[in-house]
């Protein structure tokens, strides 16, 4: 869902670049912390969430919106996973992906101001 919303706004090429940046940074972060014993793209999900969250909050002209209830859910889930309540989870990938998505949305806004 996040990807469809963002791609319709950015276009396919920019979306591909965003996905590659978030996926690579989140997986490199996790690899640095735990080695190669992880898999998946949950860091990418958190990155796309972070992108939408910042756009929704600070760039209303983008018309990208995310419900506040979903923001709360994602942040609570992030904390619960970080507390290791669900077994081994690639927490570094989640945090790095979130930060990469926030940066991808927030840096252009900061530079415009």
Q: Is 9 one of the annotated active-site residues of the chain?
A: no
Structure token pair of residue 48 = 């796309």
Closest CA to 99 of 60, 63, 64, 47: 47
Q: Is 42 one of the annotated active-site residues of the chain?
A: yes
> Which of these is catalytic: 34, 42, 56, 69?
42
Active site residues: 42, 94
């Amino acid at each position: 869902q996040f990807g469809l919303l963002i791609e319709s706004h950015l276009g396919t090429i920019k979306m591909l670049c965003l996905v590659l940046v978030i996926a690579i940074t989140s997986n490199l972060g996790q690899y640095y912390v735990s080695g190669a014993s992880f898999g998946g793209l949950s860091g990418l999900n958190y990155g796309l969430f972070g992108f939408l969250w910042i756009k929704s909050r600070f760039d209303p002209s983008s018309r990208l919106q995310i419900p506040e209830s979903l923001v709360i859910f994602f942040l609570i889930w992030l904390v619960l996973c970080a507390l290791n309540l669900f077994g081994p989870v690639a927490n570094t990938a989640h945090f790095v992906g979130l930060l990469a998505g926030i940066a991808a949305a927030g840096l252009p806004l900061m530079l415009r101001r």
